[in-house]
Copies of this chain bind each other. A is one copy, B any other.
Amino acid sequence: MGDDDLVFKALADPTRRFLLDLLFARDGRTLTELESELEMTRFGVMKHLRVLEDAGLVVTRRSGREKHHFLNPVPIRLIHDRWIDKYTERQASALADLKTELEKQP
C-alpha cells in the first residue's frame, strides 16, 4: 500500500476528520480526552487514531501512561501540491475563499 493511500484512506472517514479538527483546535490531547468528545467507544476512537498515526497525519508522544496526540499538516500540504500547481494556486485559493465567505451567510 502506497504512502499516499494511507493518508487518503485515513481522511475518508468523518470521525477521523473530526479528530483532526479537534487536534487542529488544540494539540496534545490524550485518547481519553478525545474519546469524551465523541459518541463512540474508546476502542473505536483508538482504532481511528491508529489509522491517522499510520498515515502520518497524527504524531504521538508518550509520557508515563499517557499518550499525547499532535496534528501533522505535511501530508495535507502534499495533497494540495499534487493537483494545484503554483500558477493556478491564486485562482483556486480565491475561489475557495469566496465559497467559504458565501457559506457564512445562508
Contacts and interface: CB of A to CB of B under 8 A. Distances in A.
Contacts of A91: 73
A83 B20 contact: yes
Nearest to A81: B96
B77 A80 contact: yes
Contacts of A17: 4, 8
Given A2-B14, A77-B89, 12 more contacts: A5-B14, A8-B11, A8-B12, A8-B17, A12-B12, A24-B83, A71-B83, A74-B92, A76-B83, A76-B84, A78-B100, A79-B80
Interface of A: 2, 4-5, 8-9, 11-14, 17, 20-21, 24, 71, 73-74, 76-84, 88-89, 91-93, 95-96, 99-100
